[in-house]
Amino acid sequence: MLNIIGLGLRGTKSITLESFEVMKSCDSVYFETYTSISPGSTMADLRNALGRKLLEAGRDFIESEKDIIDESRDTKVCLLVTGDPLSATTHNQLRLDAMKAGVEVRIFENSSIISVIPGVFGLMHYRFGPPVSIPFVSRSFFPTSVYDKIEKNISMDLHTLLLLDLKDGKTMPVQEAVRILEELERRRKGRILEPERDICVAIAVSQPGQRLVFGTMGSIKKSGVEGNPAALVLPSTLNDSEETFLNEFAERL
Amino acid sequence: MLNIIGLGLRGTKSITLESFEVMKSCDSVYFETYTSISPGSTMADLRNALGRKLLEAGRDFIESEKDIIDESRDTKVCLLVTGDPLSATTHNQLRLDAMKAGVEVRIFENSSIISVIPGVFGLMHYRFGPPVSIPFVSRSFFPTSVYDKIEKNISMDLHTLLLLDLKDGKTMPVQEAVRILEELERRRKGRILEPERDICVAIAVSQPGQRLVFGTMGSIKKSGVEGNPAALVLPSTLNDSEETFLNEFAERL
């Protein structure tokens, strides 16, 4: 049996009571470090909490899938995933492949940055368009489709959650993301990501170093604000309660 | 101190390890039953797990807000909320009012139906437009703005999560929601909610009676499928992996 278990945003602290029992009863426990980022000590904390070895499923996660499925045929296996277990296609693919191999799959959901960020800023879920991912760019790779997606949300007066790409166990630095947004604006000659546009920065949400700030793109750049993991929100027009909440819950830069 | 704690979708089973410690250490524990629905035995389970009285904050939740804040001045208070604690404006208003009264507020996030439903069906978050709530209607109250919101998502080729209104501790019956969608189509003479349109039905997600089905609006109506709590998804065009996932993870009616 394969149990795909979401850890939420706090490492071992946000394991649910039921998931913890399941983890303890498993024959082997894999910890997925490929699609998202956990608080720094999570691997060691999990090892202590469970009192046993953890198997890391990192960059080679896709390749180790076959092993995980094979093992799940006759034994009880856990795959631990930061955040919600089914937010990434990778995990639904594993779920499908395991089912096709005749393995029983159980899912244990948990909180996801996607649903948590709106609430902590006091912004309303029903005013968000689709989230947009900002990838690391290079001279030969600079996808302007990111701009189209942001533009669509803005044209519908919807807020946009910007998810930052991951590298070496960290999210893209906030300042690098802002520079990419500026460069998109230059290349597309649009008028949506100008220095006066407000942007919200969420750092280490739900973790000890949590920081929520907002300001114009210009002021966020000038402030040099950084931190990890980070995510951004481009708010559209705020309604009255959102305006009140954002001003009280986040720090204006 | 006021701790606003999300229970997730499974009642006591989805309390996180950290939240459980906080709950046990509080002087009083309120259980909010006004904005969302927990599995049936949650109130009794919580009482057993904590070994003490729970205070229910139900319909009169808004009125009891002042008491909760007053109590949080000098003692440690918990407010337990099904799902994620900050998905409803009500709780962000309480958070704000408590802060203004000089009370320290701590938030403990958990999973929300909003982020979990896409994944269980194998649909991708970045292909969802804003969620839309379906309210109970009457002869004198029939808001067609619901139709506009759905139409906008469809015109952008985005999936729509339909959240069903609550009454007497249950979500609106699935068949009633389908009838409301049909009536909206009749009144607006549109061509978006016709009997041939596919719709997904999620019943008791993450709970023992979980059922995931999809089919045309006509077939869902004919099947008479029901269950509680329920939520619907109106998918737009499916991409290849979504099509594969949906066909394997949900039952076709």
- Specify the pLDDT at position B36: 84
Distance from CA of A73 to the nearest CA of B (A): 19
- Specify the pLDDT at position B244: 98
Distance from CA of B161 to the nearest CA of A (A): 10
Question: Is there a contact between B10 and A16 if contact means CB atoms under 8 Å apart?
Answer: yes
What are the tens digits of pLDDT across the range B115-162?
A: 999 999 999 999 999 999 999 999 999 999 999 999 999 999 999 999
Interface pTM (ipTM) of the complex? 0.95
> What's the whole-number average pLDDT of chain A?
95
Q: By the CB < 8 Å criterion, does B39 face chain A?
A: no
A125: pLDDT strictly greater than 80: yes
B77: pLDDT strictly greater than 90: yes
What are the tens digits of pLDDT across the range B191-250?
A: 899 999 999 999 999 999 999 999 999 999 999 999 999 999 999 999 999 999 999 999
Whole-angstrom distance, CA of residue B132 vs CA of residue B111: 19
- Specify the pLDDT at position B93: 95
Structure confidence at residue B63 as a pLDDT band (50, 70, 90): confident
The domain B2-108 having CATH identifier 3.40.50.300: the answer here is no
> What's the whole-number average pLDDT of chain B?
95
Q: By the CB < 8 Å criterion, does A206 face chain B?
A: yes
Question: Is there a contact between A12 and B12 if contact means CB atoms under 8 Å apart?
Answer: no
Interface of B with A in 117-136 (CB under 8 A): 118-120, 122, 124-133
CATH number of this structure's domain B113-252, picked from the four choices 3.30.420.40, 3.40.50.970, 3.30.950.10, 3.40.50.1970? 3.30.950.10
Indicate the angle between helix axes B42-50 and B17-25, nearest 10 degrees.
70
Q: How is chain B split into domains, by residue range?
A: 2-108, 113-252
B35 token code pair = 């904005």
* Domains A2-108 and A113-252 in one fold: no
Question: Is there a contact between A249 and B111 if contact means CB atoms under 8 Å apart?
Answer: no
Are A167 and A210 contacting, i.e. CB atoms less than 8 angstroms apart?
no
Structure confidence at residue A36 as a pLDDT band (50, 70, 90): confident
Whole-angstrom distance, CA of residue B32 vs CA of residue B140: 30
Per DSSP bridges, beta strands B28-32 and B55-57 are parallel
3-state helix, strand, coil in chain B (%, to 5): 40, 25, 35
User: Residues with Cβ < 8 Å from B92, sequence gap 6 or more?
Assistant: A119, A122, A241, A245, A249, B86
Per CB-CB distance under 8 Å, the chain B contacts of A249 are: 92, 95-96
Interface of B with A in 59-118 (CB under 8 A): 84-87, 89, 92-93, 95-96, 99-100, 107-112, 114-116, 118
